[in-house]
Amino acid sequence: MIRPVTTLLVCLALAAGIARAAPPEAYAFLPLGEAWQSAQQQQKPMLLYFGRYGCTTCRKMHAEVFTDPDLRRRYSEDFVLAYVDTESGNRIRLANGERTTEMQFATRNRILGTPTFVFFSPEQKPLFKKAGFQSITQMNHYHGFIKGGHYREQTLADYSASQ
């Protein structure tokens, strides 16, 4: 995880936002650059969701996890939400000045499967990455780890063991 999450630090500005694939309904997912700027301005944590149009596990999570009203409220209120379509040609600009596509950004960060979620602190530091199906309980657990500020003193594994 070290290299991909480090690489994620280069993400910055903005995407041309046409033809975006589908993040879950009733969530305010933003293009990556817009989300990054918003998170910086609001000093909020960011959830970066690498998805793929029609991906099986993404669809399962959209139907069985993201529909949970408490989860929706928690993430909508406390996080800035970013969505990257791993097969998209939508253009984004990285902090090193490079214009590339969402697909190439995902490749460079070695996103092997979807969904993959990368969680950022309010200081915009990448904290951890989770790939594959995440349950409501797990998503709430990650929310609590970051929202409660535990990430400042504990790893996610230590926090999980203490619960």
Annotate each residue in 20-49 with x if it binds other proteins (CB under 8 A) or - if it does not, as one string.
Answer: -x----------------------------
Distance CA 12, CA 88 (A): 17
Which position among 2, 41, 69, 96 is part of the footprint of other proteins (CB under 8 A)? 96
Q: Is residue 144 near other proteins by the rule CB under 8 A?
A: no
CB of 8 to other proteins, least distance (A): 11
φ, ψ of residue 15 in degrees (nearest 5): -120, 155
Give the burial class of 158: count Cβ atoms within 10 A of its Cβ; 0-12 exposed, 13-18 middle, 19 or more buried. exposed
Which run of H or of E encompasses 138? helix 136-147
- Helices 136-147 and 69-78 sit at what angle, rounded to 10 degrees? 30
CB of 77 to other proteins, least distance (A): 28
Q: Is residue 59 near other proteins by the rule CB under 8 A?
A: yes
Q: Is residue 1 near other proteins by the rule CB under 8 A?
A: no
The stretch among 24-32, 104-112, 136-144, 153-161 that binds other proteins (CB under 8 A) is 104-112
Number of residues near other proteins (by CB under 8 A): 33
Give the Å distances, CA to CA, from 150 to 50, 64, 122: 24, 27, 12
φ, ψ of residue 4 in degrees (nearest 5): -60, -45
Q: What is the DSSP string of 76-100?
A: HHH-EEEEEETT---EEEETTS-EE
CB of 9 to other proteins, least distance (A): 9
Instruction: Decide whether 67 or 104 has the Cβ nearer to other proteins.
Output: 104
Which position among 70, 98, 123, 158 is part of the footprint of other proteins (CB under 8 A)? 98
Q: Is residue 78 near other proteins by the rule CB under 8 A?
A: no
Q: Is residue 97 near other proteins by the rule CB under 8 A?
A: yes
